[in-house]
Amino acid sequence: MRICSRALLNCLHRFPADKNQIYRCLSEVGARHAVFVHGMVRELLGLHLVYDTREQQIDDVFYVARLILVLNAAANYEPIISLLPEYVLKHYRFLRAAASDLVAPIKVLEKPSASIAASSASSKELAGSTSDILLNAYERLQEVNREPTLADRNALRRLIVEDANAISAFNEPLAGAARFIASLCEISSALESLTQVVLRGGGDIRDASNIVHQELVRIRCAEHQFAGLPAEMASFLVEAGMFLSLLELLVEMTIAPERYAQIVMDIRAVVAEAESCWAAKGEPCDQATALISAILEPLECSTEESKKILSVGTFGHLLATHAPFLPNSFPDVGKIRSKWAQISEPNRDVAIEKPIRFVAGLPCAVKFVASLHNLTENDLRNLRVQ
């Protein structure tokens, strides 16, 4: 068997155009002589008895040839399966989908999918029952405002974040919704802390401007990081982003009142952007509508007869009395999914051994192969690699 496999691999090296015929021959040899292949699995796949074996590239024709030999033998002799590492099982599923005529089905590996399909009803019931945990966490987040001090409220929010992270780690169907609730905790904490600093003088107002900008980035990430957000939650994130932007402009108006004309234009731009987002994602709440009307009212009086302006005190009072609040309900909590991508090529281990060299004045491209999850068409158009 060893001589036969080496001869076929040598033919693959000499006649690469005939690889399909050689693959088919290896498939037949593995299926007919599975017991002999069993003793050569470690040698064929380069497995080590103690150390983990680095995953080999599926585009290596010689690795694919050896893999076809081993997998067809495993389909007829189950003890071989216990020797295969996890990445070989992943490559088996790939080859079954790409070339089912070359790789025979392994019954032991096909059974889990059938059992999962058979128990889909029970898994749905389990997901439905565990989603109540997230609803309870959201209700606790709403009840945080009953605490008398900011320190106590933030302490409770940190406990909710820990619970949400635990749910995310141990319950994959609800991981996206749990991460979203953790983001809501951080956003609520930031909104209250920044309001305390800017509107009530609880710290350096100049430093607050930088923190406001950082929290705006956090809100934008929450808006685009999750799929399946209910309209109420999407509307709240838009309101929170608008509130922080207005808070940032209030800081600028306090520090540089001579820039009043430009700040007024920025306020109009922030409101227009929020209204366009609401038109696409969901209607604003009554409090947000009242805040916009109250801010725009003095700005509309631009005639010479009217000397009414938006003063710093009025602006701050409006923001203090119209701070965003979380929606009363959290519908469809189980439908929220995280958007994520997994880069499969270039492989990290291979990239370390084979660094990419750039030559001055010459263009260089790097091929990326990635699996994208829960991304929309708009996300694909805006995709960037950092």
User: DSSP readout, 47-79?
Assistant: --SSSPPPPPPTT-HHHHHHHHHHHHHHHH-GG
Overall size of the chain counted in residues: 386
Report the pLDDT value the prediction gives residue 68, as an integer from 0 to 100. 93
Per-residue pLDDT at 121 exceeds 60: no
Average pLDDT over residues 131-155: 86
Q: 174 is written with which tokens?
A: 């609800």
Q: Is the peptide bond before 346 cis (omega within 30 degrees of 0)?
A: yes
Average pLDDT over residues 93-120: 70
Q: 136 is written with which tokens?
A: 């309870």
Question: Poorest-confidence range of 22-36, 102-116, 244-258?
Answer: 102-116
Per-residue pLDDT at 350 exceeds 70: no
The full DSSP string for 40-55 is: THHHHHT--SSSPPPP
CA distance 101 to 123: 33
Report the pLDDT value the prediction gives residue 126, as an integer from 0 to 100. 44
CA distance 330 to 45: 51
Report the pLDDT value the prediction gives residue 204, as an integer from 0 to 100. 64
Q: 179 is written with which tokens?
A: 């991460």
Mark residue 222 as left, alpha or beta (left: phi above 0; alpha: psi -120 to 50; beta: remaining): alpha
Cα distances (Å, whole numbers) of residue 113 to 93, 95, 309, 366: 12, 17, 67, 36
Average pLDDT over residues 204-220: 80
Average pLDDT over residues 333-342: 84
User: Which residue, among 98, 96, 37, has the nearest Cα to 70 in the 3D structure?
Assistant: 37
Report the pLDDT value the prediction gives residue 299, as an integer from 0 to 100. 79
Residues in CB range of 50: below 8 A, 6 or more apart: none
Please provide the average confidence, as pLDDT, over all residues in the chain.
Answer: 83
pLDDT band at 301; cut points 50, 70, 90: low
Report the pLDDT value the prediction gives residue 122, as an integer from 0 to 100. 47
pLDDT tens, residue by residue, 17-36: 888 899 999 999 999 999 99
pLDDT band at 351; cut points 50, 70, 90: low
Report the pLDDT value the prediction gives residue 130, as an integer from 0 to 100. 55
Q: Which residue has the higher pLDDT, 239 or 310?
A: 239
pLDDT band at 78; cut points 50, 70, 90: confident
